[in-house]
Structure 1
Amino acid sequence: MTAYDSLMAFQRDTSALAQVAGRLGWDQETMMPPGAAQQRGVEMGAIEAILHARRSAPQVGEWLNAAKPDGPVAAAQLREIRRAYERANKVPAELATRLARVTSEAQGKWAAARADEDVAAFLPVLDEVVTLKREEGAALADGGNLYDAMLDDYEPGTTGAQIATMFDAMRPRLVDLRAAVLERPEPQGVSGMFDDALQMALSRELAEVFGYDLNRGRVDKAVHPFSSGSGADVRITTRTSATDPFNCIYSTIHEVGHAAYEQGIETAYALTPLGRGVSMGVHESQSRIYENQIGRSRAFTGWLFDRMVERFGDFGIADADAFYAAVNSVANGYIRTEADEVQYNLHIMLRFDLERALMSGDLQVSELEAAWNDRFLADFGYAVDTPSNGCLQDVHWSVGLFGYFPTYSLGNVYAGCLYQALRVAIPDLDEQLAAGNTSGATGWLHRHVQRHGGLYAPREVIGNASGMAPSEAPLLDYLERKFTGLYEL
């Protein structure tokens, strides 16, 4: 057996253990009894200790030095293994274990604090998470920028300064578009009550319409919708609201975008570094294009309107045109995951600036709620009413995902580039979507993005698929065209 073969066999076992850890996280969000939170933290810490030891094992370095890649796939495998190996050897094992334990416990404390609207109950454990993440970031940065080292975990090759420049370019056009739209009357929304079981049934139907293979996945409910797993076991969650079926519908379509990416990766890459999405920005490009450019299009919402009438009867919207307007309504709101396309990225900009300040030490955890509320008022023009609508609304910081938030906006930018190319590649896209047929769009995304997994660098994936260097311009042009038409600006 060659050094490369030995390395890959070892790596597949490591990846399999990581999948087991991921399944524990899925269980914690969906089915775990609340009293098990502390024990689950110990379990997660124990698995992380094993994973860290394998990822930083001396024989991995020896195999890497001896391995001779045979072709671009093997070269990419070695690139990703080396990257993970070097990272693992910068972070002390004890720190990695503590982080896994503390963030597992913090997740439960966040959920309880959110339910009780009690920021003070969450801040002590968040302070511990932030302290540990600063320590980890300093180890990874090795004298460089701490936040960039964290961002590199989610979007390799991208820096905080690059994200800030992108946001500076996006903000003026988004703010101007929002101001113009909010001066117009808000579309009629849905009315009545929507049965939970009927919502979940429609959710599963939509998952399959968008190509999600339920033989290798499942749809469950969670407080914060997410996708988990890769290869032959990719699970999603959604959530329901008795008065707002769009929450369930578009959470499901969004998470199916993530899941379809993971299910669509070449099977030969399973349980290897290439057998998962290359970055969170590229991942988010799939979820956002599924949810917005496809799922909220005039063509697809016409088909969806008919399915809603079949499921729920009269729900207060007269026809498909009114339904399209309702689905794309722009209105004041607190919640990022429920934000319309015009305002979504403004929510991300707020989080990006706050988490960079937390990591640099310019903002202390004790000051977070006030800083969030002040920034929200300045950006959106109205005050946060409850913590669950403010700094407690997202799970990310409780589980240590600092550097993750900007990839949501980067995903929107990537989706804008992909959609521009998709419309050229499939001239009859609207006709297909009007019939409830997403296979043309999802098939194109599978061929050009999803099947590659981690083979190419993130910007390379988007550049190859869209035929252009990633830019915010296609996204902003798309938003202005869409909402200018919708609101007759």
Structure 2
Amino acid sequence: MTAYEDLTAHARETMALGQIAGRLGWDQETMMPRGAAAQRGEEMAAIESVLHARRTDPRIGDWLAAIKSEDLDDVGRAQVRHITRSFERANKVPADLAATLARVTSTAQGTWAEARSNDDVAAFLPTFEEVINLKRWEGQALAAGEDVYDAMLADYEPGTSGADLAEMFNEMRPELTALRAAIIAAEQPKRLEGRFDESKQMKLTRQLAKTFGYDMSHGRVDKAVHPFSSGSGLDVRITTRTSETDPFNCLYSTIHEVGHACYEQNIDRAYLLTPLGQGVSMGVHESQSRIYENQIGRSRAFTSWLYTQMVEAFGDIGLDDAEAFYAAVNRVNDGYIRTEADEVQYNLHVMLRFDLERALMSGDLAVGDLEAAWNDRFAADFGYEVDKPSNGVLQDVHWPVGLFGYFPTYSLGNVYAGCLNDAMTQAVPDLDDDLAKGDTTAATGWLRSNVQTYGGLYEPRDMIAKASGMEPGPKPLLAYLNRKFSDIYKL
């Protein structure tokens, strides 16, 4: 075998083992008995040790040195680019640190869930202090003297930096806060109220998953505290959650996770279990989930169809017509939870987390001061106080499991989705006619052909630029938000 064939065969087995680790994580959030948390931590540490050894195998360096770029096609060069990046990163992180992080963050997830259910920040702080110290150690190893937070970002969005994101957020924040203020001062549309049977929500949510193209023969829908998507290729699973008084939480969480899942399901099967066989970055991933959820799923056209499905499922829902339903779906509400936030306020939630986690990683913010810092920032940004920790600093699973640098990719995904939406609506002129019939195939087909099929072939910003025909930036998103909400609120 050639060096390239040896390299890709090794990578394929490593990817397969990584999928097994991901399945353990899926099980932990959905079906694992609560008492198994400590053992699961040991299991995750063991498999991470195996993965780290494979990712740092000295033969990878030998194979890479023997490969001549000019002998490869575009796919081959992209595979080598991803493997090189992973190899260089893995060799910077000591094996014992990688295993310890896997064990501690797995255990921390259970500790966080218990603390969240009891609204007890103090119970979580010792474990969280350990997570922070380990992540700082890892970040310093990865940064090699450069910016620690930038090194963490590279895990989720290669090619960006904290400074780049801060500049983007500084451009977005004034327009978002001005739009929010104008909306709050306007007359508010009627909200959806009542009680909605949770089994009926799950039945409708599975129908919606199929409506958006989710292949249930290669996936499944389960319930979890925090909705997520897991896996790639032939096994891509999603979770959602239900609330008897808020069916939108269930329905739109599902559409969001289906966006992630369809990205993974629709990648060219030739890339299966290779570095190209998964989403290229979390920003691009989030662009798919957000455009499914918002520009498609919350559009006037699609909600006119969804209104009929809601009435069929639940009977009288207290809204007179499809237009009132559209306004209710897009109502700008006070709220604490990022995943439940409307399009106008969502990015403000992300910016809060971005600033706090940068401060945590730099050491400018102590773990013991995090809750107060969160509450002060929330009150300043949203104008009201956090009522309890589960609605504040304990609401997200990301920090407990060590995902620092992940949060800003949510807003970056919104920015990418704004660019893609402009291109998609120009390419599919009859889009609204289709969506009003509950037919998403033209929209999801365009995204599949222009983004999803490529997997990791292109770098993140290059992928969005290729698909949208423009250099990614926040202007299309901001224009879309101003146009949509000025119409709804008659601004």
Give the TM-score, by structure 1 length.
1.00
Aligned match of 1:194: 196
The residue type equivalent to 2:66 in the other structure is A
Q: Secondary structure at the match of 1:154?
A: coil
- 1:21 equivalent in alignment to 2:21: yes
Determine if the alignment matches structure 1 residue 51 to structure 2 residue 51: yes
- Aligned match of 1:81 in 77, 80, 83? 83
Superposed CA offset, 1:433-469 (max 9, x none): 0010000000000000000000000000000000000
Confirm whether residue 336 of structure 1 aligns to residue 338 of structure 2: yes
Report the CA distance between 1:430 and its aligned residue: 0.4
Structure 1 residue 18, shift from structure 2 partner: 0.2
Shift of 1:385: 0.4
| Equivalence for 1:138 | 140
Conserved? CA contact 1:151–1:159, under 8 Å: yes
Match of 2:417 in 1: 415
Deviations 1:203-246 (A, max 9, x none): 11000000000000000000000000000000000000001000
C-alpha displacement of 1:196: 1.2
Cross-structure match for 1:7: 7
- Is 2:35 aligned against 1:38? no
Gaps of at least 5 residues in structure 2 are none
For 1:460 and 1:255, locate their aligned partners in 2 and report how far apart those are by CA, in whole Å: 24
How far apart are 1:185 and its partner, in Å? 2.4
Q: Deviations over 1:250-290 (max 9, x none)?
A: 00000000000000100010111000000000000000000
Amino acid at match of 1:296: R
Question: 1:67, CA displacement in angstroms?
Answer: 2.2
SS in 1 for 2:231: strand
State the match for 2:159 in structure 1.
157
1:64 aligned residue: 64
- 1:188 Cα deviation (Å)? 1.3
- 1:83-482 matches, within 5 Å, as 83-482=85-484
Letter of the structure 2 residue corresponding to residue 224 of structure 1: H
Question: Equivalents in 2 of 1:371, 1:145: separation in Å?
Answer: 23
Instruction: Say whether the 8 Å CA contact 1:186–1:331 is kept in structure 2.
Output: no
Q: Give secondary structure in 1 for the equivalent of 2:154.
A: helix
Paired residues, what number? 489
Question: Deviations 1:71-119 (Å, cap 9, x if unpaired)?
Answer: 0000000000000000000000000000000000000000000000000
Contact 1:181 1:487 (8 Å CA) reproduced: yes
Structure 2: distance between partners of 1:267 and 1:116: 45
2:187 aligned counterpart, secondary structure? coil
Quote the Cα distance in structure 1 between the aligned partners of 2:331 and 2:184. 10
C-alpha separation between the residues in 2 aligned to 1:279 and 1:191? 38
Using the alignment, how far apart are the partners of 1:182 and 1:155 within structure 2?
Answer: 34
Supply the distance in 2 between the matched residues of 1:369 and 1:191 (Cα, whole angstroms): 32
In structure 2, C-alpha distance between the alignment counterparts of 1:370 and 1:86, rounded to whole Å: 38
In 1, Cα distance between equivalents of 2:279 and 2:193: 39
Instruction: Provide the C-alpha distance between the structure 2 equivalents of 1:371 and 1:192, rounded to a whole number of angstroms.
Output: 35
Contact 1:301-1:323 at 8 Å conserved across structures = yes
CA deviation string 1:19-45 (max 9, x = no partner): 000000000000000000000000000
Separation (CA, whole Å) in 2 of partners of 1:429 and 1:156: 33
What is the CA distance between 1:190 and its match in structure 2? Answer: 1.8
How far did residue 392 of structure 1 move? 0.3
> CA shift at 1:184, angstroms?
1.5
Task: Kindly provide the amino acid, as one letter, of the partner of residue 133 in structure 2.
Answer: T
The residue type equivalent to 1:20 in the other structure is I
Question: Partners in 2 of 1:82 and 1:215 — Cα distance?
Answer: 34
Residue identity matched to 2:394 = L
Give 1:318 shift: 1.1
Q: Aligned equivalents of 2:173 and 2:321: distance in 1?
A: 34
Q: CA RMSD in A?
A: 0.6
CA separation in 2, counterparts of 1:391 and 1:187?
A: 30
- Runs of 4+ in structure 1 off by over 6 angstroms are none
Equivalents in 2 of 1:448, 1:481: separation in Å? Answer: 25
Q: How far off is 1:191 after superposition?
A: 2.4
- In 2: Cα distance, 1:109 partner to 1:338 partner: 23
Uncovered stretches (5+) of structure 1, i.e. residues with no partner: none
Counterpart secondary structure, 2:54: helix
